[in-house]
C-alpha cells in the first residue's frame, strides 16, 4: 500500500485538499490558508454530515410545534440547532480523526485528512476540538434546562462512537445513537418535556442512519478488511439490500408512530395527513436510493449517501408545514 505522501493529488486540486471532498468547495476556494486544515478537520468542506446531524433536530422541534403551534422562540431553536450541529459535528469529526489517525493513514480515501497528512498535529487538533465544543456549549446554554441536560448527556455517545468499529460489527448503530439525539433535544427545547413521540422519532432517525451509513461504509470495505475495521457493510455483504429494506420499513414505521402518538386525537385530518406525508415521502426517497445502489461502486455509494440530505429535509418540510395548521 502506498504511503500517504506517494498519493498524487488530482489535476487542479488545491494543496492539502481531502480526497472525498467536493471539488471546488468553499474551504478550498475562499478560506484563508492558515484556516483550511482546521476547517477540513471539521469537515467544513463536506457539509453532508452537518445536515445529517441537524435534520433530526428540525424534525424534533417541528413535531413538538405540530402539537401546540409555532412560537417566536422556535426561530432561535431552529437557528441554534444549525449552529450547534455545525460546531458539534466539527468537534466530533476532530475527535474521530484524533482517535482514527493510524487507521486513516492506511485507507486510500482518508489518508489525505489533515492529521495523517501532517497538516495538523494531534495537539493542535485537541485544542481545535475544545474550542468548537466551548462555542457549541454557549449555544446549548441558551435553551431550557432539560435541553441543556440532554445535550450534555450526549457527549458520552460522541466519545464512544470512534471506538465502536473496533469492538462491534454495528458501529453504524452507535453513530445513529449519537447523530439523532438532537431529535429529543430539540423537542425538549420547544416543549420542556420528553414524550413517547420524541423517543419514537429518535428511533426512526437511528434506523435511517443505519440505512445511509451502511451505504457509506461500502466505500471502504476492502480497506476495512485489511486493517480489521468492522462495519455493517462488511457484516451484511451481498445481503445489504435486504437489510436496507428492513431499515427503510423501520424508519417509516417509527416516524409514522411518532406522528400518530404526537397528534392523535387532537389534530384535524388535514394536519394529521400532512404530517404523515413526512415518513411516506421519506420512504419513497429511500426506495429510490435502493433502486440505484451499486455496493461495489464507491462513487455511487458516496453519491447516494449525500442524497440523504434531501431525504431528511423532505420529512422536515412536511412536519414543519403541519405545525402551521
Query: What's CA 222's distance to the chain center, in Å?
Result: 23
> The dihedral of CA 131, 133, 135, 137: what is its sign?
negative
**Residue 310 to residue 52: CA distance in whole angstroms:** 10
Give the three-state DSSP class for 193: coil
Mean pLDDT (the chain, rounded): 92
Q: Is the pLDDT of residue 15 over 70?
A: no
Question: Above 80 in pLDDT, residue 77?
Answer: yes
Q: What number is the average pLDDT over the span 199-211?
A: 98
CB contact burial 64-88 (16+ within 10 A = b; e otherwise): bbbbeebeeebeebbebbbbbbbbb
Confidence of residue 78 (pLDDT cuts 50, 70, 90): very high
Query: What's the pLDDT score for residue 14?
Result: 59
Q: Is the pLDDT score of 5 beyond 90?
A: no
Is the pTM above the cut of 0.85?
yes
- % of the chain residues with pLDDT over 70: 95
Kindly provide the b/e burial profile for residues 169-201, where b requires at least 16 CB atoms within 10 angstroms of the residue's own CB: ebbbbbbbbbbbbbbbbbbbbbbeebbebbbbb
SS3 assignment, position 283: helix
Q: Cβ of 265: how many Cβ atoms within 10 Å?
A: 6
71: DSSP letter: -
302 vs 274: CA distance, rounded Å: 31
Summarised one tens digit per residue, pLDDT across range 167-182 is 999 999 999 999 999 9
Tell me the C-alpha distance between 116 and 106, whole Å: 9
Which 8-state DSSP code applies to residue 178? Answer: H
Q: Return the pLDDT at 7.
A: 34
Band (pLDDT 50/70/90 cuts) for residue 38 is very high
206 falls in which pLDDT band (50, 70, 90)? very high
Q: Using an 8 Å Cβ cutoff, are 316 and 59 in contact? A: yes
Pick the closest to residue 80 from 60, 99, 105 (CA basis): 60
- Those residues whose C-beta lies under 8 Å from the C-beta of residue 91, and which sit 6 or more positions away, are 42, 129, 132, 133, 136, 158
Q: Which of 102-116, 130-144, 289-303 has the lowest mean pLDDT?
A: 102-116
Whether residue 129 contacts residue 66, with contact meaning beta carbons closer than 8 Å, is answered with: no
- Do the beta carbons of residue 182 and residue 194 sit within 8 Å? no
**Which one is predicted more confidently, 21 or 265?**
265
Amino acid at each position: 500500500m502506498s504511503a500517504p505522501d506517494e498519493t498524487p493529488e488530482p489535476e487542479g486540486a488545491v494543496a492539502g485538499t481531502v480526497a472525498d471532498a467536493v471539488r471546488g468547495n468553499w474551504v478550498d476556494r475562499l478560506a484563508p490558508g492558515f484556516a483550511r486544515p482546521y476547517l477540513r478537520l471539521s469537515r467544513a468542506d463536506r457539509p453532508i454530515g452537518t445536515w445529517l446531524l441537524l435534520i433530526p433536530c428540525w424534525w424534533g422541534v417541528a413535531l413538538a410545534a405540530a402539537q401546540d403551534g409555532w412560537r417566536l422562540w422556535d426561530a432561535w431553536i431552529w437557528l441554534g440547532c444549525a449552529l450547534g450541529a455545525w460546531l458539534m459535528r466539527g468537534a466530533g469529526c476532530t475527535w474521530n480523526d484524533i482517535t482514527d489517525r493510524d487507521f486513516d493513514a492506511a485507507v486510500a480515501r482518508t489518508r489525505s485528512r489533515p492529521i495523517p497528512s501532517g497538516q495538523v498535529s494531534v495537539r493542535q487538533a485537541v485544542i481545535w476540538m475544545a474550542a468548537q465544543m466551548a462555542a457549541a456549549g454557549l449555544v446549548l446554554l441558551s435553551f431550557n434546562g432539560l435541553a441543556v441536560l440532554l445535550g450534555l448527556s450526549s457527549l458520552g455517545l460522541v466519545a464512544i462512537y470512534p471506538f465502536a468499529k473496533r469492538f462491534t460489527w454495528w458501529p453504524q448503530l452507535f453513530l445513529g445513537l449519537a447523530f439523532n439525539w438532537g431529535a429529543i433535544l430539540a423537542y425538549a427545547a420547544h416543549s420542556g418535556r420528553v414524550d413517547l413521540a420524541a423517543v419514537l422519532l429518535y428511533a426512526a432517525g437511528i434506523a435511517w442512519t443505519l440505512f445511509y451509513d451502511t451505504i457509506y461504509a461500502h466505500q471502504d470495505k476492502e480497506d476495512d478488511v485489511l486493517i480489521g475495521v468492522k462495519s455493517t457493510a462488511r457484516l451484511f455483504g451481498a445481503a445489504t439490500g435486504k437489510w436496507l429494506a428492513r431499515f427503510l420499513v423501520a424508519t417509516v414505521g417509527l416516524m409514522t408512530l411518532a406522528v400518530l402518538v404526537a397528534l392523535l386525537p387532537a389534530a384535524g385530518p388535514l394536519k394529521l395527513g400532512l404530517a404523515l406525508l413526512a415518513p411516506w415521502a421519506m420512504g419513497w426517497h429511500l426506495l429510490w436510493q435502493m433502486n440505484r445502489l451499486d455496493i461495489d461502486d464507491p462513487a455511487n455509494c458516496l453519491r447516494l449517501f449525500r442524497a440523504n440530505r434531501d431525504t431528511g429535509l423532505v420529512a422536515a418540510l412536511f412536519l414543519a408545514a403541519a405545525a402551521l395548521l
